């Protein structure tokens, strides 16, 4: 059984040794803890790294690994009847884009603060990248709405898209009044990989919007299948790459260097951990300031060594991948004791 999705032309013509998988599936999960343990063991077995969230409403993950390991993972997950038809967005990479595997059980697979909404019951109409592009470019009754946070859409967004001034997705309900007057329009929503739009369009339908659509597979799939046309800037991603190119047709740069104001899309963190400003700084300024965002940060006694990238690993939150196996072992022993 071959469940590997078609790779984009860029992956076929310039093969890279690793893959980054972005995926989700809204489906009822009776025992999230059991699924969490299954996913954890599978990723350890296949040497995958990344972040996976399991909840009673489904599965959401971003992982990296070798081509063979990622193909094995996709096949194993797709064989689970609960995830039949799951859509994997695939990108090439030079190596792992995460340090370790982190699998957690949470109330929602996307932190929206809307656990009552079940996208597998009701959500906006899915559009392929080609359908989204056609409506966006040719239908005058269409309004394109970005469902991402400020730091994401400030780096890149679709041309003429409406954005919300929000720090995180949980704030979305507070901003619906801003588009209340557009209820007679076709609302085209989009996000990075599609998952936020599942909840966002369900919320719009609940609020009385009638003609609601979502870009299936999000910006990542649009870039791979539609060339990224009319997406301005770069797409923010939640792994070690921070930002990726999307538009192969008419690319532009939206952002400016925080230090000098020149056009740049080099998203970094300040090397001073007490500042840790997450912003755009051009390579020249970054080198002049030795990874800092100011003279003060350059000379700060706690400044991290600048390695040329401007990207620093997050401080560990104490998650230990082996804890999952110890938990599984205890549960298996307990189960055996109860049956004997």
Please write the tens of the pLDDT for every residue from 88-134: 999 999 999 999 999 999 999 999 999 999 999 999 999 999 999 99
**Per-residue pLDDT for 33 more than 50?**
yes
What does each C-alpha distance from 179 to 145, 219, 313 come to in angstroms?
9, 22, 38
**Per-residue pLDDT for 314 more than 60?**
no
Asked if residue 42 belongs to a domain, the reply is: yes
Average pLDDT over residues 182-206: 97
Asked if residue 114 belongs to a domain, the reply is: no
Q: What is the pLDDT of residue 311?
A: 84
Q: What is the pLDDT of residue 171?
A: 97
Is 95 found in the same domain as 15? Answer: yes
Asked if residue 242 belongs to a domain, the reply is: no
Domain containing residue 165: CATH number:
3.40.250.10
Is 134 found in the same domain as 95? Answer: no
Q: What is the pLDDT of residues 200-244, one digit of tens each?
A: 999 999 999 999 999 999 999 999 999 999 999 999 998 888 899
Separation of CA 183 from chain center: 28
Is 199 found in the same domain as 165? Answer: yes
Is 89 found in the same domain as 46? Answer: yes
Is 175 found in the same domain as 139? Answer: yes
**Annotated catalytic residue 191:** yes
More confident site: 229 or 340? 229
Cα 58 from Cα 184, distance rounded (Å)? 32
Average pLDDT over residues 167-179: 96
Please tell me which residue in 25, 43, 70, 191 is annotated as part of the active site.
Answer: 191
pLDDT tier, 337 (very low <50, low <70, confident <90, very high otherwise): low
Is 294 found in the same domain as 213? Answer: no
Asked if residue 16 belongs to a domain, the reply is: yes
Q: What is the pLDDT of residues 130-160, one digit of tens each?
A: 999 999 999 999 999 999 999 999 999 999 9
Task: Tell me how many domains the chain contains.
Answer: 3
Q: What is the pLDDT of residue 238?
A: 87
Is 99 found in the same domain as 24? Answer: yes
**Per-residue pLDDT for 10 more than 50?**
no
Is 132 found in the same domain as 227? Answer: yes
Domain containing residue 75: CATH number:
3.30.70.100
Asked if residues 283 and 272 have their Cβ atoms less than 8 Å apart, the reply is no
Q: What is the pLDDT of residue 83?
A: 97
Residue span of the structural domain in which 55 resides? 9-105
Asked if residue 336 belongs to a domain, the reply is: no
Nearest to 43 by CA among 69, 19, 5, 24: 69
Q: What is the pLDDT of residue 332?
A: 47
**Per-residue pLDDT for 13 more than 70?**
no
Asked if residue 240 belongs to a domain, the reply is: no
**Per-residue pLDDT for 163 more than 60?**
yes
Cα 272 from Cα 274, distance rounded (Å)? 6
Q: What is the pLDDT of residue 250?
A: 95
Is 262 found in the same domain as 206? Answer: no
Is 130 found in the same domain as 211? Answer: yes
Is 89 found in the same domain as 173? Answer: no
Asked if residues 54 and 32 have their Cβ atoms less than 8 Å apart, the reply is yes
Cα 190 from Cα 161, distance rounded (Å)? 10
Is 214 found in the same domain as 172? Answer: yes
Asked if residue 77 belongs to a domain, the reply is: yes
Q: What burial class does residue 104 get, using C-beta atoms within 10 Å of its C-beta: 0-12 exposed, 13-18 middle, 19+ buried?
A: middle
Cα 321 from Cα 40, distance rounded (Å)? 8
Asked if residue 339 belongs to a domain, the reply is: no
Q: What is the pLDDT of residue 329?
A: 44
Tell if the pTM clears 0.85, that is, is over it: no
Asked if residues 330 and 337 have their Cβ atoms less than 8 Å apart, the reply is no
């Amino acid at each position: 059984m071959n469940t590997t999705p078609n790779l984009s032309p860029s992956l076929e013509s310039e093969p890279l040794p690793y893959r980054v998988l972005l995926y989700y599936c809204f489906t009822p999960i009776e025992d999230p803890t059991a699924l969490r343990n299954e996913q954890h063991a599978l990723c350890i077995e296949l040497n995958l790294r990344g972040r996976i969230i399991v909840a009673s409403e489904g599965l959401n993950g971003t992982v990296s690994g070798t081509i063979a390991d990622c193909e094995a993972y996709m096949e194993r997950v797709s064989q689970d009847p609960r995830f039949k038809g799951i859509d994997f967005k695939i990108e090439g990479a030079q190596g792992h884009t995460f340090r370790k595997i982190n699998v957690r059980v949470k109330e929602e697979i996307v932190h929206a603060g809307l656990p009552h909404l079940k996208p597998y019951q009701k959500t906006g109409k899915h559009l392929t990248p080609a359908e989204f592009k056609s409506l966006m470019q040719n239908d005058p009754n269409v309004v394109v709405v970005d469902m991402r946070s400020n730091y994401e859409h400030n780096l890149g967004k679709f041309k003429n898209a409406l954005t919300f001034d929000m720090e995180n997705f949980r704030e979305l309900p507070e901003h619906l009044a801003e588009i209340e007057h557009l209820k007679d329009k076709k609302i085209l929503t989009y996000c990075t990989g599609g998952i936020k739009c599942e909840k966002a369009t369900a919320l719009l339908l609940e609020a009385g919007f009638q003609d609601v659509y979502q870009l299936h597979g999000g910006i990542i799939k649009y870039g791979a299948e539609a060339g990224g046309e009319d997406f301005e800037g770069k797409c923010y991603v939640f792994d070690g790459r921070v930002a990726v190119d999307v538009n192969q047709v008419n690319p532009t740069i939206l952002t400016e260097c925080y230090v000098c104001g020149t056009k740049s899309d080099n998203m970094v963190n300040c090397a001073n951990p007490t500042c840790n400003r997450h912003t755009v700084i051009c390579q020249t300024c970054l080198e002049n300031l030795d990874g800092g965002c100011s003279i003060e940060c350059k000379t700060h006694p706690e400044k991290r060594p600048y390695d040329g990238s401007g990207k620093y690993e997050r401080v560990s939150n104490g998650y230990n991948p082996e804890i999952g196996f110890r938990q599984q072992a205890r549960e298996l022993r307990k189960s055996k004791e109860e049956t004997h």
